[in-house]
Amino acid sequence: METYNFKLELNRTTIKVLRYIVGVTGKEFAEACHVSHSLLTSIERGKRNISKLTNYRITKGFMAYGFSIEEIVAFNMLIDLKTNGGGMNDTTKET
């Protein structure tokens, strides 16, 4: 069973930007993350929310392409700042 108990919650723009940086197609990245291509596409378009398990799998996918967790968090925070005018979006607030 996979463990996915961590606080990082990616936003859809972070996923799109990091995937672009990696230089892989949505299908290739979905396979690396062990999620369906249609799910990844729906998340990137804002049509679906990201479950904790899917968030974990996508994060692990980026780590498999060489990103550290610190880099992923930094990108996510930067993109939140750029897209939300300095505020964190609902998916990254700590409870």
Domains: count for the chain? 1
Tell me, yes or no, whether 74 lies in a domain.
yes
Q: What is the mean pLDDT of the chain?
A: 85
Q: Give the model's confidence band at 67: pLDDT under 50 very low, under 70 low, under 90 confident, else very high.
A: very high
pLDDT over 90 percentage in the chain: 72
Helix (H) / strand (E) element for 44: namely helix 37-44
Structural domain span for residue 27: 12-89
**Interval 23-31 mean pLDDT:** 96
CA dihedral of residues 46, 52, 56, 58 (deg, nearest 10): -20
CATH code, domain carrying 62: 1.10.260.40
Whole-prediction pTM = 0.79
